[in-house]
Amino acid sequence: MTRVFNFSPGPATLPESVLRKAAEEMLDWHGSGMSVMEMSHRGKEFISIHAEAESLLRELLGVPANYKVLFMQGGAIGENAIVPMNLIGKTGKADYVITGDWSKKSIKEAKTYGKANVAATGEASTFTAIPKQSEWKLDPEASYVHICSNETIGGVEYHWTPETGAVPLVADMSSNIMSRPIDIAKYGLIYAGAQKNMGPSGVTVVIVRDDLIGHALPITPSAFNYQLQAENDSMYNTPPTYAIYIAGLVFKHIKEMGGLKAMEEHNKAKAAVLYDYLDNSKFYRNPVAKEDRSLMNVPFKLKDDSLDDAFLKGAHAKGMIQLKGHRSVGGMRASIYNAMPIEGVRALVAYMKEFEVQHG
Ligand SMILES: *Cc1c(COP(=O)(O)O)cnc(C)c1O
């Protein structure tokens, strides 16, 4: 068996030990005689798996007691609608900070459910920098302020937490949740699809402060109503059981690795290997402002884009895959989530050097 270094933006690489554990338990989970996939979500076996996943998530992220953790379906794109359906009803309006493709998608969806205003935008920098908080025009009557904490396509990430006063801060953390410690109390709501840093696609984590629950618009589908999901321990409808199980194994693995502080060290070290090389190269470049660079997704361009195909082909031959940049920005992108080992980043840089020598 040969495993590749998979730089996919998502679904993304998972820790090998987690996959091995899941394989070991595939036919018979802990003597139950069943695969987790075959279990009733209301049976004691799955209830214990669900409870453990939630408790590990709470422990790792330090989720305060006045927040609910929901395991939902619909992905982060689903949440682009589900968040306003549940939250915008308070005042009928919300503020959005636009930092790239994902936050653009979020505001577009929100406009169906209320008045969604652009409080700040990184457009002037062609989304290569996060607008400074001093430039934000926040509406004190907004029901919430929405940000995307890491723009997976553009590779810009907040390395600070916005101050929004009494207005709850909502963050799409799909591509950087669990990559470092965060202060949950500074947020009203956080959502994230699992398939970047937590597990397989199919489960969406929502962490929501109690007082924000219970204001859903009447049109909200029951399965997407935070109150109904909170009252039913995320089991109003059948939850994505297998995805929750794998996420639980990933959380256990992160805990064994030393928790989120250790993840942060590991992620900083990995990103430094790649950015240091990019900054010293005349052949490759990354366009993002240094202070806003993502530790998770590193887009870069070659000096001459006619070499892109040769670059990708050569990488593939060396077992490094999914390096093609998003079609909207072109070039390359290396996604280096928690589960990407530093050896993968070193192998990529070694290949980049070799390619530069041949084509530079
Ligand atoms: C991947 C991603 C999404 C989309 O998630 P889906 O599971 O496809 O709904 C949304 N926002 C961000 C920041 C992402 O990285």
Give the pLDDT confidence of 165-208 residue by residue, as tens digits. Answer: 999 999 999 999 999 999 999 999 999 999 999 999 999 999 99
pTM above 0.85, yes or no: yes
- Do the Cβ atoms of 331 and 325 come closer than 8 Å? yes
Distance in angstroms (rounded) separating the CA atoms of residues 70 and 172: 15
Distance in angstroms (rounded) separating the CA atoms of residues 197 and 247: 9
- Determine the atom of ligand 1 nearest the C-alpha atom of 74: 9
Taking each continuous run of H as one helix and of E as one strand, the counts in the chain are 9, 14
The reply to whether ligand 1 has any atom less than 6 angstroms from the CB of 193 is: yes
Mean pLDDT of 116-145: 98
Dist. CA 309 → ligand 1 center (Å): 26
The reply to whether ligand 1 has any atom less than 6 angstroms from the CB of 75 is: yes
Dist. CA 237 → ligand 1 center (Å): 22
Distance in angstroms (rounded) separating the CA atoms of residues 169 and 155: 21
- Do the Cβ atoms of 308 and 165 come closer than 8 Å? no
Dist. CA 156 → ligand 1 center (Å): 15
- Structural domains of the chain in order of their starting residue, each with its CATH number: 17-256 (3.40.640.10), 258-359 (3.90.1150.10)
Task: Name the residue of 8, 148, 156, 175 whose CB sits within 8 Å of the most ligand 1 atoms, as the mutation to test its pocket.
Answer: 175
Q: What is the DSSP string of 202-240?
A: T-EEEEEEGGGTT---TT--GGG-HHHHHHTTT-SS---
| Helices 241-256, 44-61: crossing angle, 10 deg rounding | 40
Q: Which residue has the tokens 């959502």?
A: 191
The reply to whether ligand 1 has any atom less than 6 angstroms from the CB of 118 is: no
Residue 298 region, left (φ>0) first, then alpha (ψ -120 to 50), else beta? Answer: beta
Q: Which residue has the tokens 């489960």?
A: 203
User: 130 in helix, strand or coil?
Assistant: coil
pLDDT per position as a tens digit, 7-59? 999 999 999 999 999 999 999 999 999 999 999 999 999 999 999 999 999 99
Which residue has the CA at smallest separation from atom 2 of ligand 1?
Answer: 174
pLDDT per position as a tens digit, 227-248? 999 999 999 999 999 999 999 9
**Torsion sign across C-alpha atoms 72, 77, 78, 79:** positive
pLDDT at 328 over 90: no
Question: Which residues are identified as catalytic?
Answer: 102, 172, 196
The reply to whether ligand 1 has any atom less than 6 angstroms from the CB of 102 is: yes
C-alpha distances out from residue 93 to 38, 138, 175, Å: 43, 11, 26
pLDDT at 360 over 90: no
Count the Cβ atoms, other than its own, within 10 Å of residue 312: 16
pLDDT per position as a tens digit, 275-302? 999 999 999 999 999 999 999 999 999 9
The reply to whether ligand 1 has any atom less than 6 angstroms from the CB of 77 is: yes
Residue type, 295: L
- Do the Cβ atoms of 161 and 137 come closer than 8 Å? no
pLDDT per position as a tens digit, 77-100? 999 999 999 999 999 999 999 999
Dist. CA 4 → ligand 1 center (Å): 23
- Determine the atom of ligand 1 nearest the C-alpha atom of 152: 15
The reply to whether ligand 1 has any atom less than 6 angstroms from the CB of 148 is: yes
Task: Name the residue of 82, 98, 102 whose CB sits within 8 Å of the most ligand 1 atoms, as the mutation to test its pocket.
Answer: 102
Average per-residue pLDDT for the chain: 97
- Do the Cβ atoms of 333 and 300 come closer than 8 Å? yes
At residue 1 the predicted structure's pLDDT band, cuts being 50, 70 and 90, is confident
Which residue has the CA at smallest separation from atom 10 of ligand 1?
Answer: 76
Which of these, 2, 37, 44, lies nearest to 23 by C-alpha position? 37
Tokens of residue 201, six digits: 């696609």
Distance in angstroms (rounded) separating the CA atoms of residues 316 and 307: 14
Distance in angstroms (rounded) separating the CA atoms of residues 257 and 15: 11
- Do the Cβ atoms of 8 and 336 come closer than 8 Å? no
The reply to whether ligand 1 has any atom less than 6 angstroms from the CB of 331 is: no
Query: What letter would DSSP give residue 46?
Result: H
Side-chain-side CA neighbours of 299 within 13 Å: the count stands at 22
Distance in angstroms (rounded) separating the CA atoms of residues 173 and 76: 9
At residue 68 the predicted structure's pLDDT band, cuts being 50, 70 and 90, is very high
- Determine the atom of ligand 1 nearest the C-alpha atom of 76: 9
